[in-house]
Amino acid sequence: MSTFIIFTRTAWSEAPRLRHQVTQLLLEAGHCVHFFELPRPVLSRETPRATVTGVAPAFVRTTHLIHHQLRVVPPLHGINAWFVRRQIESFLRTLPSDEVTVINFNYDYYFLRKLFPKQRIVTIINDDFEAQSRLPIFSHITWALRRTCSMSDAVFAVSVPLVRRLSQWSDAALFLPWSAMQYAAPQTDVAMRTQLLFWGYIDERLDIDMLNRVAADLARRGPQWELMLVGPTQGRGRDVVERAMARHTNVRILESHRLDQLSLDTIIAAVIPYLTPSAMDAVTLPNKAMQLLAHGLPLLISGMPAFIEAPFVRRLDGAESPATVIDSCIADFNALQPTIAKFLGENTPQSRLKQLGLHQA
């Protein structure tokens, strides 16, 4: 069993993201994980989370002096780094050994090399922090990101645009999601599959115009054809989506459900329609795609110009009309299954452990 320390800017209670999935991957492989959660403001009255051990990681919570988007000059970075580093040093003194591996998800933790001079540090960037900056300039983010990548032993990113960006300062490599589920070949005849499914956050990022076009095309195919939108809301916009879709009698909008709570035998494809430009422009493969593919569902997408190119990915916003794309998906559904199965077989938990330089314990 090896010991890992994971540094994030995420609360464990948030909806699962890559940092949660990497943590679970390590735990399931038999390793010990200490998970540093979202730092609290220094004057926060929030009660620190109690340490949890066993099947869950051990949680650690630090405080910060200055919000990461407000450290607009290097001295502010330096003051905050000194403050956070002291807390991490106190935690390290409680560990029985300094034989640890560090996995860092923070763009501005360039000071980790001082804390771990001989240990392996892996940095995974899965957000475009520069694009998310609250300020019109983001040179302070670039300053920290460059130093964080430069001090790391390995750097990964979750999209092709981010890999290109980080390659200026490191040998960055693509780190895609993996399939925690085994591929299950669809059993229902294609003729029985008369629904499209969107499964994800229902908010302002969705391309409502594309959803209208898809719903109208499905209505022309017959009363049995439906579009289902299933998911929670993150931010704003659900009411806008609901009002826009109210004109379609063949559109159903449901609250959040796990995939295994839905009847997927009637689904011909998963639709992922996002606006361009949007926060999704750098997405190469969203986490949910692997779960959808594990059920044999092709992906019909719009927006997301950096999305992977594969036979089971069809663009709704390309040269062909959405109706033609849906027709091709119906015609090719069975023929696409071996390609989907092969893709999932190449992107397993074991393949990601190997990419991180690890192995099953």
Is 80 within 8 Å of 71 (Cβ atoms)? Answer: yes
pLDDT beyond 50 at 138:
yes
Confidence of residue 135 (pLDDT cuts 50, 70, 90): low
Residue 356 pLDDT: 87
Is 298 within 8 Å of 312 (Cβ atoms)? Answer: yes
Residue-wise pLDDT for 236-259, tens only, equals: 789 999 999 999 999 999 999 999
Of all helices (H) and strands (E), which one includes residue 34?
strand 32-36
Is 300 within 8 Å of 180 (Cβ atoms)? Answer: no
DSSP string computed for 135-187: SS--HHHHHHHHHHHHH-SEEEESSHHHHHHHTTTS--EE-----SS------
φ, ψ for residue 162, nearest 5 deg: -70, -35
CATH of region 3-175? 3.40.50.2000
pLDDT beyond 90 at 151:
yes
- Cα separation of 216 and 232, whole Å? 24
Residue-wise pLDDT for 189-212, tens only, equals: 999 999 999 999 999 899 999 999
Take residue 250 and report the two structure tokens written for it: 């063949």
pLDDT beyond 60 at 130:
yes
What angle is formed at CA 191 by the lines to CA 187 and CA 193, rounded to 5 degrees?
65
Residue-wise pLDDT for 39-69, tens only, equals: 888 776 665 454 544 445 788 888 888 877 7
Average pLDDT over residues 91-120: 93
Residue-wise pLDDT for 254-276, tens only, equals: 999 999 999 999 999 999 999 98
Residue 133 pLDDT: 60
Average pLDDT over residues 10-24: 85
pLDDT beyond 50 at 361:
no
Burial zone of 85 (CB within 10 Å; 0-12 exposed, 13-18 middle, 19+ buried): middle
CATH of region 190-345? 3.40.50.2000
pLDDT beyond 70 at 134:
no
Average pLDDT value for the chain:
89
Take residue 301 and report the two structure tokens written for it: 């997408």
Residue 55 pLDDT: 46
- Residue ranges per structural domain of the chain: 3-175, 190-345
Residue 50 pLDDT: 46
Q: With pLDDT > 70 as the criterion, what percentage of the chain qualifies?
A: 93
Q: Which one has a higher pLDDT value, 13 or 231?
A: 231
Rounded to two decimals, the pTM is 0.83
- How many C-beta neighbours within 10 Å does residue 59 have? 18
Residue 174 pLDDT: 94
Residue-wise pLDDT for 322-349, tens only, equals: 999 999 999 999 999 999 999 999 999 9
